[in-house]
Chain A
Amino acid sequence: MAVITLSGITKSFGTVHIIRGVDLTIGDGEFVIFVGPSGSGKSTLLRLIAGLEETTGGRILIDGTDVTDRGPAERALSMVFQSYALYPTKTVRQNMSFGLEVARLPRAEIDRRVNAAAAALKLEAYMDRKPAALSGGQRQRVAIGRAIVREPVAFLFDEPLSNLDAALRVDMRVEIAKLHQRLKATMIYVTHDQVEAMTLADKIVVLDGGVIQQVGAPLELYERPVNLFVAQFIGSPKMNVLAARREGELIRVGSGAVPLPFATSRPIAHIGIRPEGLEVVSSGEGHIEGKVDVVERLGSDTFAYVIVPELGTLTIRIVGNAAGIALDQSIGLRLAAGQIHLFDTEGRRIAEGD
């Protein structure tokens, strides 16, 4: 089990700077998830930790030992790849034992570990099959099994569920969560799926443009995003962001206005409000006015997309089937005071007391 420390990590491919200075400490037994859009550098950062790419600058420490210049095998990590990367010509058993054979472990020890992993992952019936004869979920479990048998100091996952269909993805997500509970190992997991991030992580690292935007517990990121990027990246449907300007104790948004939720001296450029922070009221009674454009009824929830003049389309989440909402209906919207996020001209969060 391990503490992994990144200090001042940079990575450039020629003149393209992928990682622009990352400092991060990943605690022992923590489940840390890197999220970010395509090109944010999240996979590159994982590969740097794995030792599959060389850093351009900075140092990587595992349990206090500098491993920056060590090869992947010497770092004693395991990695699960997006494509599973099983060895196609080897059986499931050989796939799992290969790394141990390379490490010249005694045969009995190899068999013990492989059999234990196979039992834990319910793979015993498939041990003599080749990967081509397995389903997607089984291949994924073999890839995880191959990672487990190495008894690594930490596990690295590179978008491990993105090739699975939706139902299987939920199952495997739960299995990975259980695996973490059982092994209590340090895990670093890369995904662009923020549902995976919210449900699995102890700590989420939001990356954009090769820079860490925010590090924190899932709900902390949801409730107190430090900037507009995080605010809009975490949460689904994403947060509504409205251009705003202060007028005394009011915040003017489009043709409407809301009361200032808390005192602040900083200039306000945008306000953010999550879809569940908007309440539908009769036309004329809301802070702002709009017209219903699209309604999506999911049964438990309803998402309404409302066109508001000067502000664009706002997403509203209503619990239940929202029978009272019809297309093209003019409605009023109230912004729940406790759910308004304020952002300054640079897109940074304005906290209470700033």
Chain B
Amino acid sequence: MGIVGNTTRSPNFRRNRILLTAVLCIYLVYTLVPLFYVVTASTKTNADLFGTFGLWFAGEFNLWQNLVDLFTHQNGVFSRWLGNTFFYSLTSAVGAAIFALLAGYAFAKYEFRGKKLLFALVLGAVMIPQTALVIPLYLMLSKIGLLNTPLAVILPSLVFPPGVFLMRVYVDEAVSNEIIDAGRVDGAGELHILSSLTFRLLMPGFATVFILAFVAAWNNYFLPLVVLSTSENFPVTVGLSIWYASATLGSGGNLLFTVVMTGALVSILPVILAFLIMQRFWQGGLSAGAVKA
């Protein structure tokens, strides 16, 4: 007997399929329930937030008032935080993607002394949690006087080892050595070859690294919490957590709970939007037909 896959009618297949579907359903629920909670909670009044069932809407639809509260509380500082988060994330992601592209390209296409060791370091860096680096980073930033500046958040975020790893693999796959050689024979320099011949082939990889770095920077909490100290520099994550802390202390009154929930909802919308926009860059296959048949 050769190897034969299960047909869709075999009991074996049905059992496996049901099991798999069940596991995925559990995972789906696990992922979506908190999100759904945020959505419902942000439409409630403070009283309803604690007085009604958490996973369904209350009778009174209070979302607009919550939004008004969110953007007016403490003179509208939330807009400022949102702007900060956007600025930090965008610059970090663009920078991280460019560095990852250059490093990954070099690892994939050039031979140089110490390549294996350096790449091992990159892989090692993937394993180190960012959180572990926050204290040493704080000390370094303090020495060079960058504490409580945007650079304190952006500079460390430019280093994105998983991106380097991804780009190396992607460049290996998407760019043939012969295209680079052809560019060299045509007289183009290495950067010129990258920018005008191979970059567009790498767009899907670049977009992936960009979005990963963007989300990582958008969600970054601990680093900005430690290195930033004034409210006008905070990103949304740190700002909301401080509001939340003050709400639980009771100093700002219960009002803040719904504001924090609404703030959480507003802060995840741009990320979802970014994913949708970047999706069109994921289409691969650009290099089809360039090499071989």
- Does chain A have a CB within 8 A of B288? yes
Partner of A85, one of B176, B187, B188: B176
- B residues 180-217 near A (Cβ < 8 Å) are 181-188, 192, 196-197, 200-201
The CA-CA distance from A71 to B184 in the complex, in Å, is 8
Contact partners of A35 in chain B: CB under 8 A: none
User: In whole Å, how far is A138's beta carbon from the nearest beta carbon of chain B?
Assistant: 11
Instruction: Report if A163-B292 is in contact (Cβ < 8 Å); known contacts: A72-B185, A87-B179, A87-B197.
Output: yes
Which residue of chain B has the shortest Cβ distance to A152 in the bound complex?
B185
B188 x A102 contact (CB < 8 A): yes
Cβ 8 A contact of B186, one of A73, A132, A133, A139: A73
Q: Are B185 and A84 in contact (CB under 8 A)?
A: no
The one of B178, B186, B288 that contacts A99, using a Cβ cutoff of 8 Å: B186
A281 at the interface (CB under 8 A from B): no
A83 and B178 contact, CB distance less than 8 A:
yes
Interface residues of B in 112-168 (CB under 8 A from A): none
Given contacts A88-B289, A89-B201, A136-B293, contact A81 B184 (CB under 8 A): no
Q: State in angstroms the CA–CA spacing of A150 and B187 once bound together.
A: 10
Instruction: Mark contacts of A105-143 with chain B using CB atoms, 8 A cut-off: 1 yes-contact digit, 0 otherwise.
Output: 000000000000000000000000011111010010000
Interface assignment of A213: CB less than 8 Å from any CB of chain B: no
How near does chain A come to B133, taking the closest CB pair, in angstroms? 36
- Please encode chain A, from 76 to 96, with 1 for each CB lying within 8 Å of some chain B CB and 0 for all others: 011101111111111000000
From A77, A79, A89, A136, B182 is in contact (CB under 8 Å) with: A79
Q: What CA separation (Å) do A3 and B58 show in the bound complex?
A: 88
Q: In the complex, what residue of chain B is closest to A165 when comparing beta carbons?
A: B293
Q: State the interface size on chain B (CB cutoff 8 A).
A: 24
- Contact: B181 with A81, CB < 8 Å? yes
Residues of A within 8 A of B287 (CB): 88
Contacts of B179 in A (CB 8 A): 85-88
When distances are taken between beta carbons in the complex, the residues of chain B under 8 Å from A86 are 179, 182, 289-291
Determine whether B286 belongs to the interface, using a CB cutoff of 8 Å to chain A: yes
- The residue on A at minimum CB distance from B285 is A132
Given A52-B185, A72-B184, A79-B181, also A134-B289 (CB < 8 A): yes
A81's partner among B182, B187, B197, B288 (CB-CB below 8 A) is B182
Tell whether, in the assembled complex, residue B286 and residue A89 are in contact, meaning their CB atoms are under 8 Å apart: yes
Q: What DSSP secondary structure best describes chain A's contact surface? A: loop
Given that A87-B197, A89-B200 are known contacts, is A52 also in contact with B290, CB under 8 Å in the complex? Answer: no
Interface residues of B in 236-293 (CB under 8 A from A): 286-293
A130 contacts B289, C-beta separation under 8 Å = yes
Residues of B near A146 (CB, < 8 A) are: 182, 186
Contact A88 B178 (CB under 8 A): no
Nearest-CB distance from B82 to chain A (Å)? 36
| Structural contact, B188 and A131, CB atoms closer than 8 A | no
- Give the complex CA separation of A215 and B289 in angstroms: 37
Q: CB of A222 within 8 A of chain B?
A: no
Contacts of A163 in B (CB 8 A): 292-293
Q: Would you give the 0/1 interface string for B89-105, flagging 1 where the beta carbon is closer than 8 Å to chain A?
A: 00000000000000000
Q: At the interface, yes or no: A167 with Cβ under 8 Å from chain B?
A: no
Q: How far is the CB of B291 from chain A (nearest CB, A)?
A: 4
**What's the minimum C-beta distance from A151 to chain B, rounded to whole angstroms?**
13
Q: Which residue of A lies closest to B182 (CB)?
A: A85
Residues of B within 8 A of A79 (CB): 181-182, 185
Q: A88-B287, A98-B188, A102-B192 are in contact. List 15 more A-B contacts (CB 8 A).
A: A51-B184, A73-B187, A85-B176, A85-B178, A86-B182, A86-B290, A87-B183, A88-B288, A88-B289, A98-B196, A99-B187, A103-B187, A133-B289, A150-B186, A163-B292
Report which B residues bind A (CB closer than 8 A). Answer: 176, 178-179, 181-188, 192, 196-197, 200-201, 286-293
Q: List 12 A-B contacts (CB under 8 A).
A: A52-B181, A73-B187, A79-B182, A83-B290, A86-B179, A88-B179, A88-B287, A89-B197, A89-B200, A98-B186, A131-B289, A134-B289
